C-alpha cells in the first residue's frame, strides 16, 4: 500500500477537522466576544453565523473549481484564506471580526469536498465509502476539540492568543498542501476539463430545484442539524454555565457529548438505512426522538450528568441527518447528483446560520440589563424562551420526514 495517497488525504482530512473546529469555536468564547466587542447576543449570533453563510454559498462553485484547478492549489489557497480570516477575527473592532469570520467560512468551504476529491482521485472506488466516513470522523474530532480543549486554551492564553495560534496552524497546512499534495497520479495522463460540465452542473441545479422531494428532504436534514449547529455550535456552553452555575470546561464537556453522538450516529444511521433498504423509518425515528429528548432536557429539572447523557443520545439521533444526502440523490437523476448534494448541503449550512442569529436576537429580547465583567448575562427564563427554536426545528424536520417519499434505496437512472 502506497503511503503518499494516505498522507495527502490525511492532510485534507485534517483541514476538514480544522474547519469543524472553527465552526464551533465561538461557542466557548461567547462571554469574551460580547465583553471585548461590547455587543449583545444578536451581534454575537450574526458574527458566528457569517461562517455558515460564506460556507454555504460556495458549495456548488467549489465543485467546479476543484475539477478545473485541482485540489493542490485550492486547498493551499483556501488554508491561507482561513488563516487570514482567523487572524482578522481576533483583531480590535467588530467590523474586522465580521470580515475575518466570513473569510474563515470562505477558506474552510473547500474542506469537505476537497478531502473527498483527493480520495476519489488517489484511491480505488471500493475505498471511497471508508474514506468518507473517516473524513466525517475527523470533522467530529475537530468539533470536540472546539469544546473542552479550546476552553482550556482560552483560559490559559486568552481567546485572541488562541486564535493567533489557530491562524498559524492554517499557514502550516497551506505550506504542507503546496509541498505534498498532487492533483493526480503521474500515470493518469493530463487532466482535461470539459466546459460543458459546468453547463451540465447548472442544468442539474435547475432540475433538482424543480423536484419537490428535494425540498422535503432538505427540510428534514437541515432542520434536524440546525439545533446541533445552534446549541452545540454556539449557545450551549453559556446556557449550561447559567443553568447549572458551572465553569466553562465542565459546560463544554457536556455540550461536546452532542458532537460525540453526532459522530457515532452518522455511520450507524447510514448503515441501518442501507441494511433495511429503507430511508423513511430511520428519518422519522431520528426527528421524533430528537424532539422528545429536547423537550425533556429543556423543561425538566435534571442533574448535569443525566443531561449530558441525553445530549449524547440526541446527538446520535441527529446523526440521522446524513440520510438527507442519500435520499435527495435517489430522488434525482444520477447525472445531477453533484448539483443535488450541493443544494442540500447549502440548506444545512444556511439553516445553521439563520438559527444561530435568530437565537441571539431572542436572547436580547429577554435581556434584563444585567452585566458581568462587561458581558451580558441572560436569565434562565430568557434562555428557555429563546431555545423554543430548537423543538420548533425538530417539529419541522419531522414534518419533512413524513412528506418524504420512500425510495427503498433505489436511485434514479
Q: Do 1-183 and 197-413 come out as alike in CATH topology?
A: yes
Mean local confidence (pLDDT), 16-35: 92
Q: Are 232 and 255 in contact (CB under 8 A)?
A: yes
Angle in degrees, 0-180, between the axes of helices 337-365 and 323-330, rounded to the nearest 10 = 130
What is Dmax (Cα atoms) for the chain? 67
pLDDT at 76 over 90: yes
pLDDT: which is higher, 242 or 67: 242
Decide if 63 contacts 342 (C-beta within 8 A): yes
Instruction: Quickly state the pLDDT bin for 198 (edges 50, 70, 90).
Output: low
Q: Which triple of cell numbers denotes residue 108?
A: 474552510
- Quote the pLDDT of residue 313: 97
pLDDT confidence band for 329 (50 / 70 / 90): confident
| Predicted pLDDT of residue 204 | 80
Alpha-carbon distance of 17 to 142, in angstroms, equals 4
Q: What is the pLDDT of residue 413?
A: 60
Is-contact 204 340, C-beta < 8 A? yes
pTM: 0.85
Q: Lowest-pLDDT range, 14-18, 116-120, 255-259, 362-366?
A: 116-120
Grid coordinates of 297: 432536557
The pLDDT of residue 338 is above 70: no
CB atoms near residue 405 (< 10 Å): 13
Contact indicator for 90, 112 with CB cutoff of 8 Å: no
pLDDT of residue 88 exceeding 60, the answer is yes
Tell me how far the alpha carbon of residue 221 is from its chain's centroid: 12
| Mean pLDDT score, 250-258 | 94
- CATH number (1.20.1250.20, 3.40.50.720, 1.10.10.1100, 3.30.470.30) of 1-183 reads 1.20.1250.20
What per-residue confidence (pLDDT) applies to 290?
97
pLDDT given at position 114: 87
pLDDT of residue 343 exceeding 90, the answer is no
pLDDT digits (tens, 9 = 90+) for 130-173: 677 788 788 888 988 988 899 899 989 999 999 999 999 999 99
At 188 the pLDDT is 63
pLDDT score for 195: 58
State whether CATH 1.20.1250.20 applies to domain 197-413. Answer: yes
Lowest mean pLDDT among 89-98, 333-342, 391-400: 333-342
| Mean pLDDT, rounded, of the chain | 89
Is residue 350 exposed (0-12), middle (13-18) or buried (19+ Cβ within 10 Å)?
buried
Q: Band the pLDDT of 252: cuts 50, 70, 90.
A: very high
At 365 the pLDDT is: 93
What are the domain boundaries of the chain? 1-183, 197-413
Q: Residues 360-397: pLDDT tens digits?
A: 999 999 898 888 878 889 999 999 999 999 999 999 99
Residues 175-204 have a mean pLDDT of 75
Amino acid at each position: 500500500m502506497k503511503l503518499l495517497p494516505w498522507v495527502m488525504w490525511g492532510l485534507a482530512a485534517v483541514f476538514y477537522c480544522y474547519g469543524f473546529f472553527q465552526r464551533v469555536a465561538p461557542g466557548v468564547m461567547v462571554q469574551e466576544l460580547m465583553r471585548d466587542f461590547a455587543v449583545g447576543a444578536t451581534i454575537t449570533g450574526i458574527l458566528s453565523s457569517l461562517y455558515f453563510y460564506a460556507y454555504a454559498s460556495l458549495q456548488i462553485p467549489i465543485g467546479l473549481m476543484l475539477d478545473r484547478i485541482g485540489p493542490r492549489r485550492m486547498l493551499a489557497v483556501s488554508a491561507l484564506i482561513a488563516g487570514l480570516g482567523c487572524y482578522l477575527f481576533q483583531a480590535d473592532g467588530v467590523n474586522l471580526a465580521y470580515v475575518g469570520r466570513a473569510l474563515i467560512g470562505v477558506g474552510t468551504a473547500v474542506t469537505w469536498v476537497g478531502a473527498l476529491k483527493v480520495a476519489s482521485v488517489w484511491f480505488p472506488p471500493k475505498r471511497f465509502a471508508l474514506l468518507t466516513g473517516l473524513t466525517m470522523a475527523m470533522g467530529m474530532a475537530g468539533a470536540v476539540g472546539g469544546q473542552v480543549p479550546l476552553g482550556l486554551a482560552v483560559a490559559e492564553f486568552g481567546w485572541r492568543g488562541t486564535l493567533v495560534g489557530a491562524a498559524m496552524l492554517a499557514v502550516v497546512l497551506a505550506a504542507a498542501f503546496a509541498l505534498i499534495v498532487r492533483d493526480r497520479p503521474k500515470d493518469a495522463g493530463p487532466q482535461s476539463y470539459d466546459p460543458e460540465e459546468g453547463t451540465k452542473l447548472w442544468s442539474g441545479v435547475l432540475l433538482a430545484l424543480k423536484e419537490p422531494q428535494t425540498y422535503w428532504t432538505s427540510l428534514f436534514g437541515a432542520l434536524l442539524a440546525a439545533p446541533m449547529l445552534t446549541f452545540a455550535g454556539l449557545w450551549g456552553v453559556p446556557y449550561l454555565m447559567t443553568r447549572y452555575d458551572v465553569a466553562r470546561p465542565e459546560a463544554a464537556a457536556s455540550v461536546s457529548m452532542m458532537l460525540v453522538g453526532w459522530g457515532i450516529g452518522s455511520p450507524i444511521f447510514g448503515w441501518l438505512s442501507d441494511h433495511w433498504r429503507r430511508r423513511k423509518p430511520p428519518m422519522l425515528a431520528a426527528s421524533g426522538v430528537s424532539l422528545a429528548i429536547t423537550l425533556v432536557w429543556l423543561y425538566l429539572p435534571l442533574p448535569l450528568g443525566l443531561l449530558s447523557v441525553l445530549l449524547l443520545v440526541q446527538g446520535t439521533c441527529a446523526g440521522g441527518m446524513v440520510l438527507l444526502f442519500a435520499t435527495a440523490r435517489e430522488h434525482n437523476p444520477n447525472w445531477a447528483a453533484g448539483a443535488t448534494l450541493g443544494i442540500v448541503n447549502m440548506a444545512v449550512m444556511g439553516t445553521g446560520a439563520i438559527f444561530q442569529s435568530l437565537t441571539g436576537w431572542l436572547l436580547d429580547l429577554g435581556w434584563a440589563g444585567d452585566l458581568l465583567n462587561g458581558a451580558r448575562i441572560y436569565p434562565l427564563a430568557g434562555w428557555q424562551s429563546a431555545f423554543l427554536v430548537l423543538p420548533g426545528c425538530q417539529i419541522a424536520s419531522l414534518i419533512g420526514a413524513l412528506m418524504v417519499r420512500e425510495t427503498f434505496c433505489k436511485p434514479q437512472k
